[in-house]
Structure 1
């Protein structure tokens, strides 16, 4: 299963859980509008790969209580201290990832419900004031192009202000129960050994603070109506309890608590401490270094053969060393410089065509044993050269013929038998940094006018671009999973991310737009 989430202003996080099969393949196609002027002369393949694509793999388990069980076994002396730290870090990391995903979805729902509530109140109070011809009251860029991102998913005839808050309340209640239950299970039995207790306190400190931050973010975006009053009070009570819990155990000094910057930086370091034991180490190698030297030597040798023959022919023809002979030598050496580079580049392209450009090796973070390898490709593609199923999923029309296609492929083989005991899954997180494309976009906005209630309303809108992302994943002998996502971007941020097509095992197909 592949999920795509907007991480911040310009970063997309592509996540997938890799099953116990030993072979996995991922193809990622980025369809960039031609008006941006992207090409290999603007951003080379190597530059885009190193600047925009970042891959990380961690241990993963669908048996969510396994890390906690292992940590308790270690605490009772049945496993060593290293296994305890590893298991506790994995338990905390999976909780953090799940809470991030859940709260991100709920934040979108809360914002949508709040916008619907605001629109309902504005309609009830009347919108005649401040909206005359040329009114400046609405002179702001609209958040999502004037429409809520999931408006099409509501039942026909339903009132968003009436239907959504109740569902949102139930989801928030469920999130609060799960979060408090997971923290309660973690704190049920604390290790007695000093070194283990210090590590436990570090994990407990971060999870308490992180839970508080995510819940406060939800409260800040909840609708202001009375229907969410109870769930807001419940979330605030949990946040106060967590703050009192950390203060009672003296996890942080008063100086750090009073300074939000120091607190944030400290928690960022604790997050890295949690992720380090469960994140596979990587060794990256660029392929083709020896072949490139061989091609360079071969091209030079071939060109020098013709240069030598030309010099011999010029000497036999002109006999003595004269000005004409010197001129002939100059022309021959000039031709050598021209054709040597062209021959070398042509041979290199032919030799490396379709072959991987980089190799990653994944190592267990504690034992430094090799647990898997991955080959990677990245290049610019022409639309006519794409596979038939990719072209079918893209559904390109005449207006999109100038799109530039960027293709990233990874093929990995993992060795589950070498994984940490009890785990046969990994979670891959591929981060796409689209700020590389944002720099090619124009910054600016313009005004549009519309008629509302008999009056002319002027609104400022920013220029946005639509980027299509097509993913194809194949694990073992299973049928491939295909997805298409629409990414709406401006120069300042990613505005919206929406899945518009999905097919394959475990996918629910959505109608394309």
Structure 2
């Protein structure tokens, strides 16, 4: 699989996913080239607000494929496992199972072609059935372990049923695939009956959507325990920003004091003219103090990371990774030479002036203290493009055509194309690059396509899958 994967997550969001191993040092930069006509720039979009409101990430232990230690028997016998070890491996299996089904169902929800949707739905339901059977074959008999298994089993059964029902509720209509529809519905009924037979949920909980939803959210948090890494994020440059404010204030006061002394020399005594002059001076001080501070801060902050993040194992509290995060608007002259070369190869009609939003993340992975038996963590980061969409124009144009003397018209939507360039540097190796074209309108992402790299530019390559097939269906 590719070292970095970019996919559409929902109607107006994209997700990048990558894995990092023990001891890795990786710098990943994403450059969003936003055409000027979109109206998205430093004046209309605050980078930090966008970071907190529209960028969400999760970092967790990862194993390629769903043949995890729980299923494959990494331990020779259950007697050699502790309760804590069993719970950790159980949670890792359940968590990746849920993420895989969630990812595949979201991808399938974007498919509108009937002939592609229903065969894919059938494949997904078969995979769900197989994995649930595989999972349940490893049900422990020991009561002290059985409770953890039942929590995970309850959640996975409910979650798979919900994802399939959601797909069916938005499925394209077709009478040619009634058998597939019936199979999926039977699977959902079977899982519902299975939970009833196990008495996983009380009748009051099942009959109340709020109670069942909240219970499943709790179970989801329980299976994430020990798998999803704890994040400690710290804002950088707080002291430096205070110092910048002090310098700006001192500079403004120096100028203001000079003007006041000069005004007192011009006007003898306390007169209305002096009072008015002092009021004007203090008014300009309040106006320009903020501007000077912001200008000075932009110069000092340029190129500096905004946040630091420490990732810890939730069980042992051991530090797993350190990260630095950047988000800022950059100028074309500050781009790496390779990106300039990539953009030069665009078609002439795509060479539009653009504002460039940069997101960067630098990760240093610890060389020890991973969960026993695992050497990889996975990072998934979602970017919502909804804040971009609100600046876009709605389609108002019409295309006219004539046929047999009759004139008809079709409404057309206004589409915009965002160029996304990725830069990946691992350790001291030369950087690798990838370019994507994101076509979107005001309501959805229409298409994401990857472009080839020009000669002389190293494309982001593939990494060897050491543990087996991907969990994604």
TM-score with structure 1 setting the length: 0.76
Query: Matches of residues 103-502 of structure 1 in structure 2 within 5 Å?
Result: 103-106=105-108, 111-114=112-115, 169=119, 175-216=124-165, 221=171, 224=174, 226=176, 228=177, 232=181, 234-258=183-207, 263-305=212-254, 308=257, 337=286, 340-394=289-343, 395=346, 397=348, 400-443=351-394, 445-450=396-401, 457-501=408-452
Deviation (angstroms), 1:243: 2.8
Q: Secondary structure at the match of 2:462?
A: coil
Match of 2:468 in 1: none
Match of 1:157 in 2: none
- Quick one: distance in 2 between partners of 1:317 and 1:197? 89
Unaligned runs of 5+ in 2: 454-458, 464-473
Q: Secondary structure at the match of 2:102?
A: helix
Which of these residues, 66, 70, 80, is aligned with residue 82 of structure 2?
80
* Contact in 2 for aligned 1:467/1:488 (Cα 8 Å): yes
* Contact in 1 for aligned 2:32/2:421 (Cα 8 Å): yes
Q: Secondary structure at the match of 1:441?
A: coil
Match of 1:54 in 2: 56
Unaligned runs of 5+ in 1: 115-163, 508-513
Query: Matches of residues 33-44 of structure 1 in structure 2 within 5 Å?
Result: 33-44=35-46
- Quick one: distance in 1 between partners of 2:104 and 2:267? 83
Q: Secondary structure at the match of 1:267?
A: helix
* Contact in 2 for aligned 1:31/1:467 (Cα 8 Å): yes
Q: Secondary structure at the match of 1:462?
A: coil
Which of these residues, 15, 18, 21, is aligned with residue 17 of structure 2?
15
* Contact in 1 for aligned 2:8/2:107 (Cα 8 Å): no
* Contact in 1 for aligned 2:263/2:277 (Cα 8 Å): yes
Deviation (angstroms), 1:179: 3.1
- Quick one: distance in 2 between partners of 1:380 and 1:28? 12
Deviation (angstroms), 1:440: 1.4
Match of 2:470 in 1: none
* Contact in 2 for aligned 1:71/1:84 (Cα 8 Å): no
- Quick one: distance in 2 between partners of 1:436 and 1:275? 30
Deviation (angstroms), 1:449: 3.5
Deviation (angstroms), 1:8: 2.7
Deviation (angstroms), 1:330: 5.7
- Quick one: distance in 2 between partners of 1:476 and 1:452? 63
**How many correspondences in the alignment?**
453
- Quick one: distance in 1 between partners of 2:202 and 2:10? 30
Match of 1:129 in 2: none
* Contact in 2 for aligned 1:21/1:476 (Cα 8 Å): no
- Quick one: distance in 2 between partners of 1:225 and 1:454? 37
* Contact in 2 for aligned 1:74/1:80 (Cα 8 Å): no
Q: Secondary structure at the match of 2:80?
A: coil
Deviation (angstroms), 1:106: 4.7
Q: Secondary structure at the match of 2:226?
A: helix
Deviation (angstroms), 1:88: 0.9
RMSD: 3.6
- Quick one: distance in 2 between partners of 1:458 and 1:288? 57
Match of 1:28 in 2: 30
* Contact in 2 for aligned 1:75/1:84 (Cα 8 Å): no
